[in-house]
Structure 1
């Protein structure tokens, strides 16, 4: 009788606020979890930057802490896979050292470049019919070429945060198929890189600066580098597996690997990600992105730039008004929950870093109107929370108008910590929301991906079907849904009324301060990461 060998897997999530490491077994049981935060800087309005060295430090500390607390023999931890925030631009020199701070996903400085790209009407834009997102990698690279030419010339390679973590884990330069398909205009079904489009926008030679080793989600990269194994407390025999965009990896962690299922990712931003077998284009929604999670299937994407980040802003700057106890988040959300539906006439817009979908307009800003002397800070927070839920409903309405019907969503992320927020989204959207047993679905999805890359499962769908378990379902209150629908109309009308003013404000400030800030002129200090072998 054969004796089964112990097998455990590390999922490493490079999030907006920090690194999270999770260790699971083959059945999806969570053995240990640990986190370590890092900082974001905001040099100018609409800008957001991070330091890649901070990611690596946090990743090593989080994994090492999880390994230590698990009590496992490191030799039994078979594989690790890392995901990261999407379209966080990392520019590297020939020695693979960053040439400037990473431009974070939420940074919208490349809005002018994104608008110019859309004006080309190139066939490469078919998956973003109403506009190119200024968050995406190609607009950011073009911004760098036009505004920081000296750094652009020093930058030999352009990669995502996920690819950078894989580089530090293995010493190998790779690109993940997942993120280049949904963020770089790469189309594996239409010839790969859109060379003609790149030439039109002034980046004709850019593909020479992309690593040539492209791997699918769940593809094995190689063994962990000795220095990475030492820093993380892992065995040198650990396999490193290609990850991808955090939210798309979370689809695996939510078992959204079949047509008709939809992932609802909450956190600093929200994402609605339906899986479909139909090659359907929906104006205002990104996609359909082919083969980027499950081969043969497509992902549609609707996202909100600012959701949990708004709640965090309120907490950090105004949370003390809720009290001085140990959990000011809970106190302030309880205060908002006591306010009547509709916030006694206050209406807010959740466009604090622009709107990703369905307007694809990064010149929009947040707003709050209807204030009277009756209103309290709790009213304002209630209105902000409702605006986040209306932003989600706005995406679902755009999908429904084009026969992509979302009948339920599987949720993960920060909103799951507060039943009030999940119930609000169910009520506003009018659909059930499924809550899985493991709610840290992004790191969990990376662990599942690691199990596939190490050969313990034959596919992501098989692994997710075995490892993911449902906890409970939040049903909508349809009476509240009807009342929310009335306020939602004010939300949409407020956007229509304020959009021209917001565009004027954006034009007023555009380009004024770029020359006044030395962002990226001095690269962060960081040890070089030597390549172990040719990977091009």
Structure 2
């Protein structure tokens, strides 16, 4: 009986990575390689698809080598990437230059964070076309069509006519399979495609593309964008399979042509898959109640994934269309057929914290002291804040920044204001440039990230979503201060995954696992091979199990992991479970401030940890088991199969419950949230006043 393994590939803003996992969801090999980006002109940020593909091939081979497995046993691979625009030659898919240097063919990827197309974005949104309704009301500067419109306007004469366009995930699956199958995830989320049955348009809209001045994209049945579904193009959802690797790509990746390739997804959606099906070390009552009444992918409703890196994306699933002003979507079919996704986002989170630290005069001192303490910069600052709280005799760490009002949209606002012109404002700064002043400004930046997350969650809930928990991923999960602020600002539980640094690529490996089931069926029919059954339940581990620590969840874990074979046995957390959970009161009671407390319970407000302030509840074994997936039916849909695989491969996550609504920090954060909203309104008011004056000046000068 042949063992089966799965590969996942993730292309982020600054690196490519690959992972190998087994059928129990254990990471056996993980490799990462940097990829470069160039800003040859302000707001013009490019990459090379050639460099990206080469980095992927290196990482997959390296991960296989680490795992020590036979490469012929890897039967499925999934790809995710940033939602960046790849410009290719229409005849042979070779790179075409994306500017601003149109002599360099290798620079053929316009990165998601490229903001060159502001004028084109405004022109598109001015049409108020029907399709804009399905991208949050207006198209973002980060999406593909404004970039394509900019290329038409700025490319040398004749060059645009020779171009074809891919979202980066679809380009990678094309390189792997030789097939130009497009994913709904890419075309619906970023390119204005409307799946069949939603409106009369059923796919690409000639009316819209002609209206925005891109008739070239309409020609030849939309061939430059991927074609018409079932005519000269093919479109599939996450959980469906494109085909097998070509001989050329199999050799480059170190795999075989028996390996199937799943539909590609944008990286944030892989983060949703890699986190939201996880059982939790302490039950979240509302999720358990929901799971009793739902089946398959519908159990994913209400589970918001916050995929945190340079920026943060917020992905939520629904069974119906929910329109949220300023939040992208609703997008149908991007995760599963007939399911709708919404996508909020923050343009700068990890990048914001890095900016706050690196621009401070105390940055060098911070680097020296944190290194000598064998701590990360964030861990050192968290510790420094604890000391400051004692020295200043403040009630809590959060209170240290009570009079610093930090609004951090340095790079514009993605959600829910959807205004790329928003900028940062900081009220309450002094001339103090000491390390302590940096620590407090860093605290205020963390608070901004949490308050803006609250704003996004509130906007989604006001429109009809019901967020029951936020499933985090990314290195920011390791920051206990930030996680505590997220819980207390939003008022919902935060779930920390086992594989903090690998959640996104792990989600992509899940797509590989779904594709592997198709590969196994092909091999059974073609070669008579037999495989172990992969369709049973996977019960979450109970706290009585002996659990080895996982380097991905340790607060002092490093970002570089050269060997992960020690993770092959069981889920692991390096600290006692009782320090990681909140009380078991009803979540809605907690959010309303009605959680009961015993008189003899004490709260340790002096520490910033991954834990909640209240005592932990023991694991409710039967309740957790009740939320486990049921055995699959004999006629599974692709979405049912995807959810089953997600549940089978997901490891236990740790829960941080919000403090009681009566807690002093919650009260302070609620007041500062009102100030946060006022800072937005004030900035918009001031900009409008200046714009009115400038308009009057221009009118006067033109007389």
Normalised TM-score (structure 1): 0.88
Q: Which of the numbers 242, 249, 258 marks the counterpart of 2:263?
A: 242
Q: Which of the numbers 365, 377, 381 marks the counterpart of 2:442?
A: 381
Separation (CA, whole Å) in 2 of partners of 1:506 and 1:338: 46
1:136 corresponds to 2:152: no
1:56 corresponds to 2:53: yes
1:200 corresponds to 2:211: yes
In the alignment, which residue of structure 1 is the partner of 2:73?
Answer: 76
Separation (CA, whole Å) in 2 of partners of 1:151 and 1:468: 50
Q: Contact conserved, 1:75 with 1:234, CA < 8 A, in 2? A: yes
Separation (CA, whole Å) in 2 of partners of 1:39 and 1:434: 32
In the alignment, which residue of structure 2 is the partner of 1:464?
Answer: 646
Shift of 1:484: 1.0
Partner SS for 2:38:
coil
In the alignment, which residue of structure 1 is the partner of 2:17?
Answer: 20
Q: Which of the numbers 384, 395, 398 marks the counterpart of 1:341?
A: 398
Summarize the Cα distance change of 1:260–1:312 in structure 2 as closer, same or farther, 3 Å threshold: same
Gaps of 5+ in 1: 509-536
Q: Which of the numbers 320, 326, 339 marks the counterpart of 2:364?
A: 320
Residue correspondence of structure 1 range 26-425 to structure 2 within 5 A: 26-86=23-83, 88-93=84-89, 94-100=91-97, 101=107, 102-150=109-157, 153=160, 155-188=162-195, 189=197, 190=199, 191-206=202-217, 207-211=222-226, 212-255=233-276, 257=297, 258-316=300-358, 318=360, 319-324=363-368, 325=371, 327-335=376-384, 340-341=397-398, 343-374=401-432, 376-425=437-486
Separation (CA, whole Å) in 1 of partners of 2:691 and 2:6: 46
Separation (CA, whole Å) in 1 of partners of 2:115 and 2:155: 16
In the alignment, which residue of structure 2 is the partner of 1:11?
Answer: 8
In the alignment, which residue of structure 2 is the partner of 1:442?
Answer: 504
Separation (CA, whole Å) in 2 of partners of 1:227 and 1:334: 52
Larger radius of gyration: 2
Summarize the Cα distance change of 1:244–1:356 in structure 2 as closer, same or farther, 3 Å threshold: same
Q: Contact conserved, 1:177 with 1:215, CA < 8 A, in 2? A: yes
Separation (CA, whole Å) in 2 of partners of 1:41 and 1:314: 22
**Structure 1 residues 144-172: Cα deviation after superposition (integer angstroms, max 9, x where no partner):** 11223548525421001112222332333
Separation (CA, whole Å) in 2 of partners of 1:471 and 1:159: 35
Separation (CA, whole Å) in 2 of partners of 1:295 and 1:337: 49
Summarize the Cα distance change of 1:504–1:364 in structure 2 as closer, same or farther, 3 Å threshold: farther
**Structure 1 residues 45-76: Cα deviation after superposition (integer angstroms, max 9, x where no partner):** 44422222221122122111111000000011
**Structure 1 residues 72-113: Cα deviation after superposition (integer angstroms, max 9, x where no partner):** 000111111110002x11111133122123111112222222
Deviates more, 1:416-425 or 1:340-349: 340-349
Q: Contact conserved, 1:178 with 1:216, CA < 8 A, in 2? A: yes
Gaps of 5+ in 2: 98-106, 227-232, 278-296, 389-396, 519-534, 536-635, 694-703
Summarize the Cα distance change of 1:337–1:250 in structure 2 as closer, same or farther, 3 Å threshold: farther
Q: How many residues align?
A: 505
Partner SS for 1:345:
coil
Q: Contact conserved, 1:108 with 1:353, CA < 8 A, in 2? A: no
Q: Contact conserved, 1:320 with 1:328, CA < 8 A, in 2? A: no
Separation (CA, whole Å) in 2 of partners of 1:155 and 1:352: 37
Shift of 1:336: 5.5
Normalised TM-score (structure 2): 0.68
Deviates more, 1:204-213 or 1:274-283: 204-213
Shift of 1:332: 4.0
Shift of 1:313: 3.2
Deviates more, 1:56-65 or 1:147-156: 147-156
Deviates more, 1:25-34 or 1:125-134: 125-134
Q: Contact conserved, 2:322 with 2:464, CA < 8 A, in 1? A: no
In the alignment, which residue of structure 1 is the partner of 2:393?
Answer: none
Separation (CA, whole Å) in 2 of partners of 1:45 and 1:506: 23
Q: Contact conserved, 2:447 with 2:482, CA < 8 A, in 1? A: no
Partner SS for 1:422:
helix
Summarize the Cα distance change of 1:389–1:242 in structure 2 as closer, same or farther, 3 Å threshold: same
Separation (CA, whole Å) in 2 of partners of 1:85 and 1:78: 24
Separation (CA, whole Å) in 2 of partners of 1:378 and 1:187: 47
Shift of 1:506: 10
Separation (CA, whole Å) in 1 of partners of 2:41 and 2:186: 27
Summarize the Cα distance change of 1:349–1:183 in structure 2 as closer, same or farther, 3 Å threshold: same
**Structure 1 residues 200-229: Cα deviation after superposition (integer angstroms, max 9, x where no partner):** 111123123122232322332222233333
Partner SS for 2:512:
helix
Aligned-residue CA RMSD (Å): 2.5
Summarize the Cα distance change of 1:296–1:214 in structure 2 as closer, same or farther, 3 Å threshold: closer
Partner SS for 2:398:
coil
Q: Contact conserved, 1:347 with 1:369, CA < 8 A, in 2? A: yes
Summarize the Cα distance change of 1:142–1:240 in structure 2 as closer, same or farther, 3 Å threshold: same
Separation (CA, whole Å) in 1 of partners of 2:383 and 2:138: 38
Separation (CA, whole Å) in 1 of partners of 2:183 and 2:681: 38
Separation (CA, whole Å) in 1 of partners of 2:267 and 2:307: 9
**Structure 1 residues 266-298: Cα deviation after superposition (integer angstroms, max 9, x where no partner):** 111112222111212121222211111011211
Q: Contact conserved, 2:161 with 2:216, CA < 8 A, in 1? A: no
Q: Contact conserved, 1:78 with 1:239, CA < 8 A, in 2? A: yes
Summarize the Cα distance change of 1:432–1:157 in structure 2 as closer, same or farther, 3 Å threshold: same
In the alignment, which residue of structure 2 is the partner of 1:534?
Answer: none
Partner SS for 2:40:
coil
Partner SS for 1:282:
coil
Q: Contact conserved, 1:218 with 1:243, CA < 8 A, in 2? A: no
Q: Contact conserved, 1:46 with 1:353, CA < 8 A, in 2? A: no
Deviates more, 1:497-506 or 1:273-282: 497-506
Shift of 1:412: 1.1
Separation (CA, whole Å) in 1 of partners of 2:690 and 2:504: 36
Runs of 4+ in 1 over 6 A off after TM superposition: 503-508
